[in-house]
Chain A
């Protein structure tokens, strides 16, 4: 039975992806686009040559981190919609350190990433404290904190860091994650070392949750607050801690944009969307570290591949958003399959 469950765990996402693509194809057919040609273009746009592979991997790094952020809070029973805001303050903190501090790269890069993590953690801890202390619903506070982050970071850039073109200066070379080597082996894509940071973060999340007392407590609170309280776990502390760590991951996601992809921060007219995508990535990955990495690969790949699909088959890139939504629906509805399988394997007894 253990084996059967494991098989099912793998099977469900695969079937969901297949069904999502199938219905996406039907939508294309109905609206007069060639589905097979489009999907070939989509596939080539993900793994067709080293350039698009580089782009896909680059797209993955912030998605992994924002997915980890959402997943980590979920494990403690908290819904962090505020990844977007935590990402923005992390982005700003990383760029600020990158622009103003002088240090050799071995110190400068970790310092900038650390700054992003701390900024994100503080931004995430505020809803955590409000939840623990005043029982304020974290969904509202994180949404509010998103807007506060958006307007405040813009104002700080405008007042202190403004360079021509509604943006900050580039970060110093010693703080940059850009890699001429990685770029040269991928036909000068925008690939940077951020993916290593993201993968390390995934390992850290797994380690924290499954190999430490702290992780045990966090998960216990997620399962049942009252039981945890009764067992002597400090629920308030764990809620704050969980939101802070979640925020730290989100902040580091921001540093990927600041130190890697863009090398600067723009004045954002609207949200980046990476934080909201993180919710989807976490859900696809069933809130596990390895799942988040795979979910980000799928999500990032589809987003990059969509560009090729649009230019070759003329299908609007948004179709990919529809396909992703369908995949999430199917993954979500698969729980009934799990339930059925469990029931059957127990011989009809509940």
Chain B
């Protein structure tokens, strides 16, 4: 097995497992940059996975064919935003503790998703879907020597959408008036308010966007990786996305990089037994490698990460 073969095995796999994390982490960036902690990413992603699985299943029944995953992505985004509105209402309007509200959201989403699954399908899981997002080569780009084979062949379209969305989020946050408002509300809401920015409205938008993106992340996970929804479909991916966002220092491209890194590490641990110089290492070391590397990277290379200044504090007009 040549070095190229190894790369061809790992890199596409890494991009595939990174995509759901990228979407969800970007959602986290929107919410936390506006000053609202979102521990609820896990629950939002979970409910997105449930919504995705159900929509794809019924989409197939209705004869939507291979369009059904794409329909499900839109539905999952809408449902995710709706679910996130509970978090927004509690933590922005009612000034509840944002961490508490996020944890409650996780429990709510997990309970409701399985409850509804049992109600609708009379079973602990949704039926396995047949219309997954299919793997494809990107025209032209996959013909580029070396790079084409590694990055543009045999991969899910959703992965490229994820990377594209990361750049869009970066553009929105750093190059548009809305992005400036969102960031200012997260850093210094009172100053923003003085300048005539509606703090409550901007924070609502931030949280709803995070719900939509996390829902999308969950649906993409179902459509590309798991194929159905069970109680163990989403166990911790949302927390990983949260970690990717913090690892990426609350920056969209940082979050993208961190999510890709997690994906790469995961791909190595899954296909490590096929790779010559990794074969002899006990499997457990490959399994824990992504997490150990993350900790080491944070301690040694990346250094301290500063959260948005107003993160976690509800804004009260006129309070000094």
Contact = CB atoms under 8 A, between A and B. Distances in A.
Contacts of A271: 235-236
B118 A143 contact: no
B108 A139 contact: no
B111 interface: yes
A152 interface: yes
A269 B282 CA distance: 18
B288 A328 contact: no
Given A155-B284, A316-B114, A321 B107 contact: yes
A136, A145, A154, A324, most chain B CB atoms within 10 A: A136
A279 B304 CA distance: 26
A144 B297 CA distance: 12
A344 interface: no
B287 interface: yes
Query: Chain B interface: which size bin?
Result: 35 or more
Contacts of A276: 106
A250 B101 CA distance: 23
Contacts of B99: 79
B114 A318 contact: yes
Interface in A246-271: 269-271
A144 B243 contact: yes
Chain B interface, DSSP helix/strand/loop, else mixed: helix
Contacts of A27: 115
Contacts of B54: none
B119 interface: yes
Contacts of A331: 100
A152 B289 CA distance: 11
Contact of A316 (B104, B115, B294, B303): B115
B295 A336 contact: no
A134 B246 CA distance: 15
B111 A148 contact: no
Interface in A80-116: 81
B278 interface: no
Query: Chain A interface: which size bin?
Result: 35 or more
A144 B291 CA distance: 5
B202 interface: no
Interface string B30-68: 000000000000000000000000000000000000000
Contacts of A18: none
B90 A332 contact: yes
B104 A329 contact: yes
Interface string B58-98: 00000000000000000000000000001000100011110
A143 B246 CA distance: 12
A137 interface: yes
B94 to A, nearest CB: 4
A92 to B, nearest CB: 14
Contacts of B295: 130, 136, 140-141, 144-145
Nearest to A134: B299
A141 B298 contact: yes
Interface in A295-350: 316, 318-326, 328-329, 331-333, 335-336, 339
A31 interface: yes
A331 B288 CA distance: 37
Contacts of A148: 288, 291-292
B299 to A, nearest CB: 4
Contact of A332 (B101, B115, B247): B101
User: 5 nearest interchain CB pairs?
Assistant: A321-B111, A325-B108, A135-B304, A332-B96, A325-B107
Interface of B: 86, 90, 94-97, 99-101, 103-108, 110-112, 114-116, 118-119, 232, 235-236, 239-240, 242-243, 246-247, 282-284, 287-288, 290-292, 294-295, 298-300, 303-305, 307
6 contacts: A139-B246, A141-B295, A152-B284, A322-B115, A325-B108, A332-B104
Given A130-B295, A320-B111, A332-B90, 4 more contacts: A141-B295, A143-B242, A155-B283, A325-B106
